[in-house]
A and B are shown apart, each in its own frame.
Chain A
Amino acid sequence: MATPALDDPGLPPGRGSLPALAVVGHGGGGGRDSQVRFDPTRFGLWAFLGTISMLFIGFTSAYMLRRASADWAPIAAPPILWLNTTLLALSSVALEAARQRLRAWKVTAARGFFGLAGALGAGFVIGQFGAWRTLRAQGVFLATNPHSSFFYMLTGVHVLHLAGGLVWFLAIAARLRRLTPGDDALGLFATYWHFLGFVWAYLLFVLFVL
């Protein structure tokens, strides 16, 4: 640490010497001369996804630790989960189809696919309620054993995030007629939506494969 501490105070550093940050800071052709370096909304969204990731990493570490205890009794995955997974995947596909149609100025088709994506997403949420019902019918409740506790809690937290996504979906749907191909609203929403799809795949893996 001695060398930097002996920095000559008369020769202040100028340019950014942190490559990773500098890359983020350079948007378009303007480089560091541009006032806004990277679309702030998109950046903010990614930061938000980062913090959500940490939430699920926190849960995962708790899961791993709790799983090591003697009273761990695994529950079987309700079969409806596979249907739900398919719905969520198709929802992401439909969303991409909507974006593609919008880019090609096929606004009516874009609207159709967008609506389909939302419907499939809502279908997933309803399907998750179905999964909880199935478990309840089998006598597997939140407090039955640690695995079921984690199942209800993690799927619940995930559904809450999806429900937030559906509110966002409705907000975009309300102004769908005014969307233009250059509008990033759909793209931002798609980023969030696909992310939740990945989180779901991750949760399935942690809960039933790992």
Chain B
Amino acid sequence: MAHAETHAAEAHGHADHAPQSFIWKYVFSKDHKVIGIQYYVTAMFMALIAGLLAMTIRLQLAWPEKTFPSLNFLTKGYTDGVMNPEFYAMLFTMHGTIMVFFVLSTAPVSGFGNMLIPLQVGARDMAFPFLNGLSFWTFLPGCIVILSSFFVGAGAAAGGWTSYPPLSALRSAVPGSEMGQTLWIIGMVFFIASFTMGGLNFVTTILNMRTKGLSMMRMPMTLWAMFLVAVLGLLSFPALTAASLMLLFDRHFGTSFFIPSGLVLSGQVVNHQGGSPLLWQHLFWFLGHPEVYILMLPALGFTSDIMVAFCRKPIFGYKAMVGAMLAISGLSFVVWGHHMFVSGMSPYLGMAFAVGTMLIAVPSAVKTFNWLATLWRSRIIFKTPMLWAMGVVSLFISGGLSGIWLGQTALDIHFHDTYFVVAHFHLIMAGAALFGVFGATAFWFPKMFGRMMNDTLGKIHFWFTFLAYYCTFFPMHYIGLAGHMRRIYDPYQYEFLKNLQPINQFITISAFILGASQILFFINYFWSAFRGEKATDNPWNAAGLEWTTPSPPGHGNWPGEIPEVHRWPFDYSVPGAEKDFVLQTDPAPIGDKAGSH
């Protein structure tokens, strides 16, 4: 208890002495809310860049024969209005890298995690505020390094976001294998260091700093997601750290961890021997698979927490929802081999990985069933956050189904490295994560800026994005089945892909609409942050602990004592209650049985 008292005293001191100068308050801040917004805005900027890269990819795939002299300003990328093939490889590599790590791991986890964890656990700040600030200021150099790689030497990394050797391990393999790949590794090291610091803060804060009465099984689903994401990150990222270090040694110090014997490059046998490119794949995907759940789990958490507030119903099957998340997280560590079915692994091993992958369908189905059961017979309030939450459910189903196909070894031999895979992960991983972030933004915006986002503009943005998203990514299943390769500069050099060009053009136009619709979001976000309607403390009449703070919460989050929690955050439409929701801090002996003692 001594610790508790000291800490409480410290917390009060902390709250009383909020930094005053602009630099310490908004730049080198240790306040979790400011850090959360810093992460979020940086991720949005990175999303803008990575989105533009995607648009350029799409332009090439739809009209490879056309010239675009206006794009000559991308000097390395275009010659006389025609894209260089090397530049195309850089585009998809950097689009994937930036989106996976610097956008979709960053905005939901580092952005909303920092923003929401202390508000939802009932703490003045994260457990280690200094480490938290340091984590952002480690992340930012990572972004700069990654972006700068386009302008250094022969250009950015071009070995795919998975950076498979030998392309990534031999500096003379392709133009992007030079400085670009080295900067990719350095950027990733910054990112991993930052994410590790964040993860330590997340697990420590969630396990140790919950307010009085907030047991684990009273936590909102967002907190569960953040906790599991942090555990996944702490346990899986070190594998990529190890692999990156070995890759760096192979590239610069002549070792042969990943480079096999007898490799011939430009007519010369390379001076390495005995390494195994598959070793990289194992280490990469040991991180890579948990990583895609790091993107997705927060979206699943947001969806549950948003959904109850707009259904005015308790969450259906809370324990099963928590169990499903735990199961998904646990299984994510034993299925990495399904990314390597065509690598020549033993069919028996492949079968084990396939079975593990199929098993993920079970908790995923539990989650879907419970969301549908939460929606069932409720009077849904169709506000912007709710639309996004339902969008997540839709994408989770349509993207999840193709996952069951891809998880089977026999089918994967055909699908591997085709657009079918691109369709699958853009729907489930990228799409669900992105929609989750949009939903969370609209829902928790009052806690970020004390204002509401414009609901009409939000809805227009949703419908454009939702329809354009499906129009962009759904046809990719079809061209994938038809044999369209995943990473190809000019598909129409093959006779059998020529008839797919109209579909590629349709996809590209949809992608442009999708990209352009995001302008609506940027306008809404920045306009609302400064000019939006002022929000009350609890504008959605939601039951969670975070809604007992002022909008926006001040330094230290609660002006007085930290409130005590008496129930879970899902008490909506409780019989006998005064209003149709009961705040987590309400001691009334209704609803949550645990509240009565």
Enumerate A1-36 residues with CB–CB distance to B below 8 Å. 1, 4-7, 9-18, 21-22, 24-25, 27-30, 32-36
> Are B246 and A62 in contact, with the CB atoms below 8 A?
yes
A1 CB contact (under 8 Å) in B274, B316, B320? B320
Q: Chain A nearest CB: distance from B333 CB in Å? A: 11
B207 CB contact (under 8 Å) in A29, A37, A54, A153? A37
> Are A7 and B241 in contact, with the CB atoms below 8 A?
no
B568 CB contact (under 8 Å) in A12, A32, A41? A12
A47 CB contact (under 8 Å) in B203, B236, B370? B203
Enumerate A68-94 residues with CB–CB distance to B below 8 Å. 69-72
> Are A143 and B254 in contact, with the CB atoms below 8 A?
yes
Question: What CA separation (Å) do A59 and B279 show in the bound complex?
Answer: 11
Question: What CA separation (Å) do A146 and B272 show in the bound complex?
Answer: 11
Give 26 pairs: A residue, B residue, CB < 8 Å, sorted on A: A1-B363, A5-B366, A5-B369, A5-B373, A7-B316, A12-B567, A12-B593, A14-B595, A25-B208, A27-B4, A32-B213, A35-B562, A39-B3, A40-B128, A40-B209, A41-B127, A43-B208, A44-B127, A47-B203, A47-B234, A51-B235, A54-B235, A62-B243, A62-B283, A71-B273, A157-B245
> Are B323 and A44 in contact, with the CB atoms below 8 A?
no
Chain A: CB-nearest residue to B237: A51
> Are B207 and A43 in contact, with the CB atoms below 8 A?
yes
Q: Which 4 A-B pairs have the closest CB atoms?
A: A14-B594, A143-B254, A71-B274, A58-B242
Chain B: CB-nearest residue to A39: B3
Say yes or no: is B8 at the interface (Cβ < 8 Å to chain A).
yes
Question: What CA separation (Å) do A142 and B269 show in the bound complex?
Answer: 21
Question: What CA separation (Å) do A29 and B3 show in the bound complex?
Answer: 12
Say yes or no: is B249 at the interface (Cβ < 8 Å to chain A).
yes
Q: Chain B nearest CB: distance from A87 CB in Å? A: 26
Say yes or no: is A50 at the interface (Cβ < 8 Å to chain B).
yes
Say yes or no: is B63 at the interface (Cβ < 8 Å to chain A).
no
Say yes or no: is B570 at the interface (Cβ < 8 Å to chain A).
yes
> Are B274 and A70 in contact, with the CB atoms below 8 A?
yes
> Are A28 and B249 in contact, with the CB atoms below 8 A?
no
In the complex, chain B residues whose CB is within 8 Å of the CB of A65:
276, 279, 282
Beyond known contacts A14-B593, A15-B215: 9 more, CB 8 A cutoff: A25-B207, A36-B4, A44-B201, A66-B275, A66-B279, A142-B254, A142-B255, A146-B274, A153-B255
**Chain B positions near chain A (C-beta within 8 angstroms):** 1-4, 7-8, 127-128, 196, 199-201, 203-205, 207-213, 215-218, 234-239, 241-243, 245-246, 249, 253-257, 261, 273-276, 279, 282-283, 286, 313-320, 323, 362-363, 365-366, 369-370, 373-374, 562, 567-568, 570-571, 591-595
Quick one: given A1-B320, A70-B274, are A9 and B239 in contact (CB under 8 Å)?
no
Question: What CA separation (Å) do A54 and B232 show in the bound complex?
Answer: 11
**Chain A positions near chain B (C-beta within 8 angstroms):** 1, 4-7, 9-18, 21-22, 24-25, 27-30, 32-41, 43-44, 47-48, 50-52, 54-55, 57-59, 61-62, 65-66, 69-72, 142-143, 146, 149, 153, 157
B215 CB contact (under 8 Å) in A4, A16, A30, A44? A16
Question: What CA separation (Å) do A55 and B238 show in the bound complex?
Answer: 4
Most interface-central of B1, B208, B320 (chain A CB within 10 A) = B208
Q: Chain A nearest CB: distance from B231 CB in Å? A: 9
Question: What CA separation (Å) do A66 and B207 show in the bound complex?
Answer: 39
Question: What CA separation (Å) do A27 and B196 show in the bound complex?
Answer: 25
In the complex, chain A residues whose CB is within 8 Å of the CB of B320:
1, 4-5, 7
Chain A: CB-nearest residue to B212: A33
> Are A14 and B215 in contact, with the CB atoms below 8 A?
yes
Question: What CA separation (Å) do A19 and B211 show in the bound complex?
Answer: 19
> Are B208 and A52 in contact, with the CB atoms below 8 A?
no
In the complex, chain A residues whose CB is within 8 Å of the CB of B127:
40-41, 44
A66 CB contact (under 8 Å) in B276, B317, B562? B276
Chain A: CB-nearest residue to B575: A10
Chain A: CB-nearest residue to B365: A1
> Are B196 and A51 in contact, with the CB atoms below 8 A?
yes
Question: What CA separation (Å) do A29 and B282 show in the bound complex?
Answer: 46
Question: What CA separation (Å) do A143 and B249 show in the bound complex?
Answer: 9
> Are A37 and B208 in contact, with the CB atoms below 8 A?
yes
In the complex, chain A residues whose CB is within 8 Å of the CB of B196:
48, 51
Question: What CA separation (Å) do A67 and B458 show in the bound complex?
Answer: 57
> Are A149 and B242 in contact, with the CB atoms below 8 A?
no
